[in-house]
């Protein structure tokens, strides 16, 4: 969602108008970054290899490999996922390698996550703001119920000023990504909060075969420079990558988005152990054009790429340090990750314009500053249950967030009032256990249980009645059964209980920060939010590689949530609402008829409804129903050509509970073509929205009021997709 999200607190927006100066565009030059080689996924098809995934790392142990006798797998340099028959725990689990990512036209880093079948990334504001995500019948807002991790470190932010689970992936460098490992559903013991629809773990390369310099220029003042590489040093390997990006976009008031981003790591591997230390730094500033009312465009008073408050925008910073150590033997393996993260955001938005304040406007500020520290440790024993090979993992995850955030009233980014200002302290301790056993050559099981304990502490500087400490805990069992393989085909049954945490401020809220009483501005009684809301999930599926060159999965899934987070458009916030039910079908296909051509086709169909009867209706606003993604890729043909087209479709969505207002579908056709002249020089061109469609990137329905309008108007508010645009890149490997 695009607005204040304190659950279940219902704040009316009383923000103001801003006027920000457009910073003269500066740049884009190059920074450091390395070329990469997809050693992990690139393998000669004539030499089969055992595949492994993030969730089944322990299978790599030589003792277990020998006794379990896993099927030999081919790993092709262009496959989206390794052949996971005999290894995966569900039909909706997989890996994506760099060899798939680098042939996709990508407009922004968050689209890397669109390699997860059925997931859509969109933007409704400035480029520096976290993207909006859709998956499995959810409008995931800026993250919420999809957990993203960077080498095991969670990206989602709890009790963020702009929304629970805020997931800003603008710091990602697509060329540096080695793998994206994903698993959908809440059936896995190693993931907890924010993972009810699924999770993804992104891993960077630790070593690259060459140094790479790349420069990109494109439409609407888009410039990007990057450099990356690696070097043997002090008994290990140093990997570095860096970029600078500028983008104005087609908007009447340009984004003037300016980003500086880098990563530096040191890693070493010994016979049975290894470790790495990784530092990351990211900084960006931007102006934004938020969603605009449709009626103003239809009557000609507003340009399709225009805005109402030209001072909306923000700035973001993210700095992190991660240490990782691992070891393995014939009998066990262990892994420890420790991390520290500092993040800061200043965000200014105006989505109701002059509805709450006809003089100053409705702009509001959402400052957020936090320190996050954590530890993740696992120890796996390889053993037997009778004659069956088995492994048992004991894990512990600890996370601590110290947060200072608020909700302010501003005009032109100048604060004139504070609605609330909070110091939030959240501590989470999560032990878990999981057992994986292969009972015979056609049946294996995964059984797990996880406990999540939370402490939420709030210190509110201007509403003392909202101070307090709340403790809560929840136990989540998991189960997975796999039958097969027969004819390179497996059947899966998965089920589990999960949860999502609510915003700590809503958990402790007793008085409305606007009215100062237990009755909010709409006349409703203030009720404390439930700290941890239960989710229930199940899935059955099939995975097959029976047809040569084709990997295909089919999953039928179901997910219930005890408390849905509902967007309330006329208030511009969210509140805890009714329980919900979602179910659907996902069909994912990846076909390589030759070693130089691949096709992929992913189709997702979902249905989402509130449970129970309500006169308002049972449709969940913004819930996505249909997603189709497809593409073709060729590479290393005709002496160095590569590229291909990509089509993305996400269907109409209900925008109001009674389904009386619906969005239109969005169709995007993009493409890439490139040529590698020699081992050093490569040229690449990308084109976006080739059909030049005038679709929406996102739609909402709520009330707003333009300046001098007689009264608020309920209308669809939309953010348009960008018109046809182009980018050209030149890169050198040395």
* Domains of the chain and CATH, by start: 54-733 (2.40.170.20)
Helix (H, G, I), strand (E, B) or coil at 153: strand
**Torsion angles phi and psi, residue 245, rounded to 5:** -135, 140
Strand 120-122, strand 198-204: pairing: unpaired
Least confident of 73-77, 134-138, 657-661: 73-77
Q: What is the pLDDT of residues 672-711, one digit of tens each?
A: 999 999 999 999 999 999 999 999 999 999 999 999 899 9
Question: Number of C-alpha atoms within 13 angstroms, CB side, residue 336?
Answer: 7
pLDDT tier for residue 521 given thresholds of 50, 70 and 90: low
**Helical spans, DSSP H, in 371-510:** 504-508
Instruction: Please tell me which residue, 489 or 13, carries the higher pLDDT value.
Output: 489
Q: 644: which residues sit within 8 A by CB, 6+ positions away?
A: 103, 631, 632, 633, 634, 671, 672
Give percent of the chain above pLDDT 90: 75
Contacts 24+ apart (CB under 8 A), 100-103: 100/633, 101/174, 101/177, 101/180, 102/174, 102/175, 103/78, 103/633, 103/635, 103/642, 103/643, 103/644, 103/672
pLDDT at 510: 75
> Mean pLDDT in the chain?
86
Burial label, 696 (beta-carbon count in 10 A; 0-12, 13-18, 19+): buried
Residue-wise pLDDT for 620-649, tens only, equals 999 999 999 999 999 988 889 999 999 999
pLDDT higher than threshold 90 for residue 65: no
Q: How far apart, in whole angstroms, are the C-alpha atoms of residue 505 and residue 524?
A: 18
Binned at pLDDT 50, 70 and 90, residue 726 comes out as very high
Q: Read off the pLDDT band of 529 (50, 70, 90).
A: confident
Beta strand 443-460 with 414-440 is antiparallel
Q: Kindly give, in sequence order, each residue whose CB lies less than 8 Å from that of residue 722, ignoring residues fewer than 6 positions away.
A: 107, 220, 249, 250, 688, 689
Comparing 99-108, 299-308, 343-352, 559-568, the range with the smallest average pLDDT is 559-568
Largest CA distance in the chain: 79
C-beta of residue 163 within 8 angstroms of C-beta of residue 277:
no
As a dihedral over the C-alpha atoms of residue 482, residue 487, residue 488, residue 491, rounded to 10 degrees, the angle is -20
Residue 270: partners with Cβ closer than 8 Å, 6 or more residues away: none
Say yes or no to pLDDT of 551 above 50: yes
What pTM does this model have? 0.87
């Amino acid at each position: 969602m695009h607005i204040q999200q304190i659950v279940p607190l219902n704040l009316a927006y009383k923000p103001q108008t801003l006027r920000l100066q457009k910073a003269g565009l500066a740049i884009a030059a190059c920074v450091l970054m390395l070329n990469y080689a997809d050693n992990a996924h690139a393998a000669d098809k004539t030499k089969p290899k055992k595949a492994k995934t993030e969730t089944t790392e322990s299978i790599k142990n030589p003792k277990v490999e020998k006794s379990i006798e896993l099927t030999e797998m081919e790993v092709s340099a262009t496959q989206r996922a390794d052949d996971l028959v005999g290894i995966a725990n569900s039909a909706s689990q997989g890996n994506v390698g760099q060899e798939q990512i680098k042939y996709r036209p990508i407009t922004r880093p968050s689209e890397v996550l669109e390699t997860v079948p059925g997931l859509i990334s969109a933007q409704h504001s400035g480029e520096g703001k976290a993207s909006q995500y859709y998956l499995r019948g959810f409008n995931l807002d800026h993250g919420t119920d999809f957990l993203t991790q960077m080498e095991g470190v969670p990206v989602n932010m709890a009790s963020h000023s702009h929304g629970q689970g805020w997931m800003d992936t603008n710091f990602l460098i697509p060329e540096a990504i080695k793998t994206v490992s994903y698993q959908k559903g809440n059936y896995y013991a190693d993931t907890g909060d924010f993972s009810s629809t699924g999770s993804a773990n992104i891993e960077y390369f630790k070593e690259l075969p060459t140094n790479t310099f790349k420069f990109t220029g494109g439409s609407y003042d888009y410039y990007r420079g990057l450099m990356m590489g690696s070097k043997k040093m002090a008994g290990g390997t140093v990997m570095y990558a860096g970029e600078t990006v500028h983008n104005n976009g087609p908007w009447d008031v340009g984004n003037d988005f300016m980003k500086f981003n880098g990563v530096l790591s040191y890693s070493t591997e010994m016979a049975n152990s290894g470790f790495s230390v990784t530092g990351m730094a990211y900084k960006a500033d931007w102006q934004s054009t938020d969603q605009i009312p449709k009626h103003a465009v239809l009557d000609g008073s507003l340009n399709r790429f225009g805005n109402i408050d030209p001072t909306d925008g923000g700035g973001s910073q993210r700095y992190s340090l991660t240490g990782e150590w691992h070891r393995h033997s014939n009998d066990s393996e262990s892994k420890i990750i420790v991390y520290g993260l500092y993040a800061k955001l200043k965000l200014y938005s105006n989505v109701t314009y002059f509805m709450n304040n006809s003089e100053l406007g409705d702009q509001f500020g959402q400052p957020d500053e936090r320190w996050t520290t954590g530890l993740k440790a696992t120890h796996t024993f390889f053993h037997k249950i009778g004659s069956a090979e088995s492994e048992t993992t004991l894990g512990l995850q600890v996370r601590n967030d110290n947060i200072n955030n608020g909700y302010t009233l501003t005009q032109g980014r100048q604060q004139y009032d504070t609605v609330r200002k909070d110091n939030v302290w959240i501590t989470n301790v999560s032990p878990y256990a999981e057992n994986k056993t292969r009972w015979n050559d056609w049946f294996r099981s995964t059984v797990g249980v996880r406990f999540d304990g939370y402490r939420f502490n709030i210190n509110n500087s201007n509403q003392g009645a909202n101070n307090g400490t709340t403790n809560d805990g929840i136990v989540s069992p998991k189960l997975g059964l796999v039958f097969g393989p027969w004819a390179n085909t497996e059947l899966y049954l998965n089920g589990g209980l999960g949860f999502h945490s609510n915003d700590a401020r809503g958990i402790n809220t007793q008085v409305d920060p606007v009215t100062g009483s237990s009755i909010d501005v709409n006349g409703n009684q203030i009720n404390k939010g439930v700290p941890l809301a239960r989710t229930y999930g199940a899935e059955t599926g099939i995975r097959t590689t029976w047809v040569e060159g084709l990997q295909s999965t089919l999953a039928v899934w179901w997910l219930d949530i005890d408390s849905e987070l509902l967007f309330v458009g006329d208030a511009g916030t969210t509140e805890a609402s009714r329980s919900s039910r979602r179910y659907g079908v996902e069909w994912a296909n990846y076909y390589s008829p030759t070693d130089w051509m691949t096709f992929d086709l992913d189709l997702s169909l979902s249905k989402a409804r509130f449970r129970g009867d309500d006169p308002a209706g049972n449709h969940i606003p913004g819930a996505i129903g249909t997603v189709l993604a497809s593409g073709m890729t060729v590479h290393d043909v005709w002496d160095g050509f590569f590229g291909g087209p990509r089509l993305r479709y996400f269907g109409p969505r209900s925008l109001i509970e009674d389904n009386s207002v619906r969005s239109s579908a969005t169709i995007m056709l993009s493409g890439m073509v490139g040529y590698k002249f020699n081992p050093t020089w490569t040229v690449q061109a990308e084109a976006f929205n080739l059909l030049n469609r005038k679709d929406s990137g996102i739609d909402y329905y709520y009330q707003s009021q333009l300046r001098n309008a007689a009264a608020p108007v309920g209308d669809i508010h939309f953010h348009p997709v960008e018109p046809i645009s182009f980018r050209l890149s030149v890169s050198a490997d040395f």
